[in-house]
Amino acid sequence: MSESQRAAGRVASVMQEERVFPPPAEFSRRARIGSLADYRRLYDEAAADPGAFWDARARELPWITPYGRVLDWRPPHARWFADGRINASAVCLDHHVAAGRGGKTALVWVGEPTGERCVMTYAELLAEVCRLAAGLRSLGVGPGQVVSIYMPMTPELVIAMLACARIGAVHSVIFGGFSSEAIADRNHDAAAVAVITADGGWRRGAQLPLKANVDRALASPHHPPTTVKHVIVLERTGQAVEMVPGRDVWWRDLVSGQPTDLPPAAMDSEDPLFILYTSGSTGKPKGIKHTTAGYVLWAKTTAEWVFDLRDDDLFWCTADCGWITGHSYVTYGPLAAGASILIYEGAPNAPHEGRFWEIVEQERPTIFYTAPTAIRSFMKWGLQHVEGRDLSSLRLLGSVGEGINPEAWMWYHEKIGGGRCPIVDTWWQTETGGIMMSPLPGCTPTKPGSCTLPLPGVVPQIVDAAGDAVEQGEGGWLVITKPWPGMLRGVWGDEARFVDTYWSKVPGKYLAGDNARQDADGYYWIMGRIDDVLNVAGHRLSTIEIESALVSHPAVAEAAAVGRPHDVKGEAVAVFVTLRSGNPDDALKDALRKHVRQQIGALAVPDDIRFTASLPKTRSGKIMRRLLRDIAAGRETVGDTTTLEDYTVLANLRSNDE
Ligand code: WTA
């Protein structure tokens, strides 16, 4: 069976899934929300009076100045807890230290090189955050200014995020796999004043040139002169770097002599906390803006509900802080909830393919949250890496980033969870700030492949192109009909794009960009994107972004990128390229791959490149992506091709099949 046939079978089997797994009785007895009746009651309470519901939860946060109204909703603009003053780092740190929990473990960190490990208590983390915050302030970084963070997964990455929050600076974390051009784009769009980075980071035994990438970004000839005035450099690998006098400063020099008790800045609830760039359906990533109080409350509350966090938990979310999952469930959610987090710096297969299970055995996390693409890699690497490992500390498993196919779900359940751990399949997005739909592990019966039911406060609907609700069981666009505290507040510097992308196709409702369907039990099944956004190994990529990167190469005249099914990554990038010059050979394919890596990063590099004399287009000149998707997947082309401008193009593409 071909890869594409297997993938098609996967989709079909998801739709027919009938296995139901009730939560284990022992789990339910101890859980915060231990019965479906409790869930329904909470859900109904939030729906009937959202103001009172969120007021009750927000009151538990350490306010510097109390808020006035809970919600001011002028679609599409929400203000939550308006006029209140609060600081996100104080919610995550000072609050617990003040309550006498300063000695509790905040984080356990494991480095990629075997044997490297460190533990920090809440009091120690607070002290380090204060020192860096004071250092940033001494450089003149202040409230509302944007600081880019481009770092490996070290405790200092979490410290950098919280230090920005402490002085009211807005952080923009850039995933360490992005290229210098991608850094330059983001710095420029956000007018960042500083970059926090490291000399390098470890990845599968190699040293990533993080500082060198930042240097290149700041000198990018494709961008206006940089707005960045300061570069703070953590010494991580010890590799040689160039330090530019007056601009670059070592982290250790910046924090030395700084106070360990800097008071948190009193930020307005609606002051921006961070921006995080994500791919949309254009060539330019958009800076999703999240604000302070609502975001932190949402991250904390959802972490407590979905992961059923309790005092003795050690929570391992394997996401990098370069993605929203790392923001909400490495940093803000669990720390606001006072939990202990586990962070691992490196790749799951470094130095061997059983590294994660070795870490579970050694560190004994109780909750493990990862992506389906990782689970499929573990399956491929083989059971020998899992068997014989003591995974008995685990009590709950989670999945995020894409739908989890039932085969991977069952493997996760049996081989990692030992059949005893509930699995929470969490649906959400960069834009939603935190989990929106997920089983609650103590009460929701799960069906492999479904993210089940909305959390309290989340009111989804499935609609057709006219915005009308579809019949039960029908597929359609997923929208969220009511505001929630963690919702995005805008696209950085681009109000029109915010309104147009999320609020105009179905007026007044948040358009998630996913297709979904509800089954007879009211369970939600996510069925892929409605736009040209790909999900490659759990990472969002825009086809147009990849196309723009390709056409910026001198040999390329035109390019079309599509996704094709892939056994491990879920989707892989396939591109069709017409040439302006050069020979359609393997050397050019290599050059184009390298070019995409430079323009965006390794995650966007196409798996397949096909040269073609022309691309199939409609009479109005639109590239017919559906046809290209079928060809890329090796499927017989189905559906209407009557608008195809030039039938011979299709035949030529087929005969070029590799
Ligand atoms: C997809 C990641 C199915 C979806 C937190 C969404 C999922 C996009 C799931 C957001 C899930 C995420 N089931 N699909 N449990 N979780 N997705 O912004 O298409 O990186 O729109 O946020 O990932 O990706 P993002």
Instruction: Choose the residue to mutate in 173, 531, 535 for probing ligand 1, maximizing ligand atoms within 8 Å of C-beta.
Output: 535
Distance CA 562, CA 569 (A): 14
In this prediction, residues 433-445 reach a mean pLDDT of 97
Distance CA 634, CA 415 (A): 33
Supply 7's token pair: 């993938």
In this prediction, residues 232-244 reach a mean pLDDT of 98
Pocket lining for ligand 1, CB < 6 angstroms:
278, 323-325, 400-403, 425-430, 451, 512-514, 526, 529, 535, 540
In this prediction, residues 39-50 reach a mean pLDDT of 98
Write down the pLDDT at residue 296: 98
**Which domains are assigned to the chain?**
122-278 (3.40.50.980), 533-657 (3.30.300.30)
Between helix 210-218 and helix 180-190 the angle, nearest 10°, is: 50
DSSP string, 530-552: SSSEEEETTEEEEHHHHHHHHHT
In this prediction, residues 12-24 reach a mean pLDDT of 74
Distance CA 570, CA 563 (A): 9
Write down the pLDDT at residue 12: 47
Q: How far is CA 419 from CA 56, 371, 412, 560, 620, in A?
A: 37, 19, 9, 44, 55
In this prediction, residues 519-541 reach a mean pLDDT of 92
pLDDT band at 63 (very low <50, low <70, confident <90, very high): very high
Residue 533 CA to ligand 1 centre (angstroms): 11
Q: Kindly provide the b/e burial profile for residues 568-604, where b requires at least 16 CB atoms within 10 angstroms of the residue's own CB.
A: bbbbbbbbbbbbeeeebeeebbeebbebbbbbbbebb
For residue 261, pLDDT over 80 is answered with yes
Write down the pLDDT at residue 477: 97
Write down the pLDDT at residue 310: 87
Q: How far is CA 365 from CA 36, 173, 384, in A?
A: 27, 26, 21
In this prediction, residues 52-70 reach a mean pLDDT of 98
Ligand 1 atom at minimum distance from 430 CA? 18
Could you tell me the sign of the dihedral formed by the alpha carbons of 604, 185, 538, 369, in that order? Answer: positive
Residue 162 CA to ligand 1 centre (angstroms): 25
Residue 177 identity (one-letter amino acid): G
Which residue's alpha carbon is nearest to atom 13 within ligand 1?
403
Ligand 1 atom at minimum distance from 278 CA? 18
pLDDT tens per residue, range 301-335: 999 999 999 889 999 999 999 999 999 999 999 99
In this prediction, residues 269-283 reach a mean pLDDT of 92
In the chain, the percentage of residues whose pLDDT exceeds 70 is: 94
Residue 96 CA to ligand 1 centre (angstroms): 31
